[in-house]
Amino acid sequence: MSPNEDVSAKLSTLLSQVDDASRINELSKAAALLREASQLAPQDEDIKRRWVSLQQREAGNSESLTTIKTYIESREEDARKNAIQALSKKQLDPVEASEAFDLLLGSSSDLPSLDEVLSTLLGRQIEVRRLVAKKIIASATEAFEQLSPCGDETFRAFTGLLFDKSLWPTEDAQHTAQQDLFRLCIASLIDAGVERPDRLMKAVARQLAVQPENVVSLIDEDVFDIVLSELDIRHDNSLRSQAMVAMSRLLEVSKEDGEKLFASFVTNHVAKKTNDDLIMAFSAASSVFPVLPAVASRLFLTEGFVQGLIPYLERNSEAAASGKKKSKSLEQAALELLSAACVDKSCRELVRKYCSDWLQSVSEERNGVQEALAALVLAKINEESVDQVTEKLSGLVIGGDNERDQAVEGLAYTSLQPKVKEKIASNNALLTELIAVLKDRPTAAFGALTVLSNLTAYRKPQSEESKKMSQLKAYANSSKPAPEDPLDDDKNVTARCKSVLDKDVIPALVARCKQSTSPAIIALVVRILLSIAKEQKHRPSMAQQGATRLLLQIIERTSQTDKSTSEASLIERTASHALARLLISINPAHVFTSGLPVTSAVSSLIPLLTADHTNDNNTSERDLLPTFETLLALTNLASMSDPTAADLLTRSATPQIEDLLFSTHPLIQRATVELLCNVMAHPSGVSLFVLSGSADAKRRLHILFALTSSGDLGTRRAAGGALAMLTEWDLAQDAVVSAPEGKGVKAVLALCGDEESEEVRHRGFVCLSNLVQGPGGVGEKAVKVVRELKGQEVLTGAVKRSRNPEVLGVGVEVLKVLV
């Protein structure tokens, strides 16, 4: 051993002895040991920290330890809050960390909120995390047994240590710890009496999701058997959901070997033909179908698999009818498998061919979950029976109990058909129950949202080019294009949207979003809001019920997540589009306050000015509707007397707005100019066009001149309005009059002489009035340029055509100045 290594070893031993002495309150001994250590390494940071800690111990100044002791002794809520606050605010040294850990673990298990305090200690205190990591290295089993009973959050913080690289001396130590805890979780799951198996399964799923490569060597038949067995429909949903995550990751990391183990699990249990084994087999297979349909369908389509089960299921149904519990569970597991299998066309045909009679009998003879599931499968395999099935499912949603989840899922499937949408929307009791599900029944919320999304979805618009392409494809396939169902025309969809809105769907959506952050749930919510907001009459009611605030919260939440996924990007874009629709039609002063600033809305809408919105029917076509409606919404926000919205637009969206001024779509160009007109009411908007010495400002001013002669009346009117507001400012008057070749005055005279619209002429008169009455030499210069361009003749002709007294009055006043 080298001299340096010898010193390091001695130092490590001395510091361990210091910690031991401090732990048993032998502070004098600890001080003596620290002095000896200081002679070896005077500048060592660990030694310095221990000196500080020792001084605090002697002075009784360890705030965190004091608050923990008070919490344990008093068991009071205020003491708990103080302990958590202290642990979150200041880091403990190694000795304090060890004492705090021992104090909490040694306290009574019924101590109120112990899980919260202990998880805070484990999550926030680095020395405690290091301490527990050392305990895992020393004995993973002992650490596991010590911390696993302490509560959900504590166990989560404990297993989370495995993924903090900084806590482990080497990568091998970290990998070994991960493998040890993975084995311990799997072994504990085998125990039939284990408490909270879902907690253990969650740890397994987390390991497989975060660093599967470190435990892939441990994945064998036993691991698969344990995880797949926990998918049993008789288990709690909390356990099954974690088992599904773990199973999905198992199959992903083990590839072909995993597929073989899954197939072996199912076939081996099916071969035993006991109810327990069949329930486990069917439960596992139905869970795999949504994740890996190709793998599950190969097994399902195996010769004789389905055919051999039906006689057994028919005999089992007789036992189920007599009330045998396992037989009912088997029936439910089989129905869930058949329902899941319908995702594959070949499997669906096999179910229709061999299982229709059995499904029909179950649907007619059972009540509850079995009845709902049988009806759902029948709807999937036989479109002709959809009316009858929908009626049955609707009744189960309204009057059912445990079977409501399956019934709602069934309606999510049948409501794809327009005639079913109409039936659901006209059934007040059913619609009320579906919306109530969003608040009261999380397990059925996704299905209920899917139904509402189907009801409110408008038909995707197709351009003429897209329609021609569809016709050509149909011609190439020797078929006629399918006729569009009139029940999905805009008129009918709008009526359904109103029915949904009238049932107070917005508060229910708000409640659901508070309870769930699932991207799938949020995507459906924003889709529903976008559809309902399409009708202008719906928007005030939506805003009153909280839709504006909800959309802003969703956008903010999504902006803080990884938007690299198409799902997250689509959620944010759809939510922003829905927000734009709302803000077109409501008074922003009634919505935005100091607690809900208008800047949050403007920031949310700006990306839609440039985002590439594509039509799903033809990705080569850009859908300009979100951009158009965003321009209208921003125009409304810019109309506020408070300049905040306009100021943010000029700072953050000028390039986008300028690009849109050149849009070849007349409505986009018009809406952009209308936005500029409102922005011009504020100094920040004016500065875009008249900033002294700015080439960009001059360029924008010339663009505005050009737009006054647009072929689109609305664009000319908006450009005239913008120029009228701009010329109220002294600097702007000079810029317009001084424009090269008289372009500014020519643009104003073109407005005055507009032959199509008196509104445009009025704007021209106002511009000219502002110019010729400008301060100082600006007015005189304007009069001179107007005369040179024979503006008197233009103005005289325009005045003669005017019938509006107000317009006529402005024109006459200008003529007086010119004469």
Final residue before a domain boundary, out of 109, 142, 167: 167
Q: Output the DSSP codes for 22-69.
A: HHTT-HHHHHHHHHHHHHH-TT-HHHHHHHHHHHHHHHT--HHHHHHH
Burial class of 74 by CB neighbour count within 10 A (0 to 12, 13 to 18, 19+): exposed
- Measured CA to CA, the distance from residue 86 to residue 661 in angstroms comes to 57
Q: Judge whether 162 lies within some domain.
A: yes
Amino acid letter, residue 741: E
Based on the domain organization, do 103 and 14 belong to the same domain? no
Give the number of domains in the chain.
Answer: 3
Contacts of 237 (CB under 8 A, 6+ apart): 443
111, part of any domain: yes
> pLDDT over 70 for what percent of the chain?
92
Are residues 707 and 753 both part of a single domain?
yes
3-class SS of residue 615: strand
Write out pLDDT tens, residues 4-48. 667 777 778 888 887 877 776 676 777 788 788 888 788 888 887
- For 424-481, the pLDDT digits (tens) are 999 999 999 999 999 888 888 999 999 999 999 999 876 555 555 555 555 555 555 6
Partners of 622 in the beta sheet? 614
84 and 40 share one domain: no
pLDDT for res 768: 92
Q: Please tell me whether residue 76 adopts helix, strand or coil conformation.
A: coil
On whether both 43 and 98 belong to a single domain, the answer is: no
Considering only CA atoms, give the Rg of the chain.
36
Query: Are 15 and 91 in a shared domain?
Result: no
Range ranked top by mean pLDDT from 58-72, 243-257, 647-661, 777-791 = 647-661
Tell me the per-residue pLDDT of 750-787, one tens digit each, with 9 for 90 and over: 999 988 899 999 999 999 999 999 888 888 898 999 89
Are 162 and 208 spatial neighbours (Cβ–Cβ below 8 Å)?
A: no
Residue 437 C-beta-side C-alpha neighbours within 13 Å: 30
Angle at 514 between CA 406 and CA 420, to 5 degrees: 35
Residue 388 token pair: 């009858």
Q: Per residue in 650-660, is it b (16+ CB within 10 Å) or e — as a string?
A: beebbebbbeb
pLDDT beyond 50 at 79? yes
Whether 519 maps to a domain, the answer reads no
Distance, in Å, from the CA atom of 631 to the CA atom of 555, rounded to the nearest integer, reads 18
Contacts of 162 (CB under 8 A, 6+ apart): 174, 177, 178, 181, 207, 211
Give the helix ranges, DSSP H, for 533-641.
Answer: 539-544, 547-559, 566-585, 588-591, 598-605, 625-638
* 493 domain-assigned: no
Closest C-alpha to 778, from 735, 813, 816, 814: 735
Residue that is written with structure tokens 């909390």 in the block: 238
Is residue 664 assigned to a domain?
yes
The rounded mean pLDDT for the chain is: 87
Residue 340 has pLDDT above 70, yes or no: yes
Report residue 349 as tokens. 């045909």
Q: What is the pLDDT of residues 547-584, one digit of tens each?
A: 999 999 999 988 877 555 678 889 999 999 999 999 99
- The CA distance from 53 to 92, in Å, is 9
732 and 659 in a single domain? The answer is yes
Final residue belonging to a domain, choices 125, 146, 167: 167
Indicate whether 698 and 780 sit together in one domain.
yes
* Domain contains 138: yes
Does residue 204 form part of some domain? no
Average the pLDDT over each of 279-283, 427-431, 508-512, 798-802 and give the range with the smallest value: 798-802
The two three-digit tokens of residue 21, written as one number = 């002495």
At residue 680, the 3 state secondary structure works out as coil
**Domain match, 766 and 787 both:** yes
- Among candidate residues 108, 134, 167, the one where a domain is terminated: 167
Pair 28, 91 in one domain:
no
| Structural domain range at position 73 | 62-167
Same domain, 663 and 789: yes
Domain assignment present for 109: yes
Query: What is the C-alpha to C-alpha distance for residues 560 and 552, in angstroms, rounded to an integer?
Result: 13
Query: Same structural domain for residues 50 and 66?
Result: no
**String of DSSP letters for 170-226:** SHHHHHHHHHHHHHHHHHHHH-TT-S-HHHHHHHHHHHHHH-GGGTGGG--HHHHHH
Residues 51, 61: Cα–Cα separation, whole Å: 13
Helix then strand then coil, % of the chain, to nearest 5: 80, 0, 20
Verify that 69 and 45 share a domain, yes or no.
no
Token pair belonging to 749: 């005279």
Q: For residue range 166-200, what is the model confidence (pLDDT) as tens digits?
A: 999 999 999 999 999 999 999 999 887 788 899 99
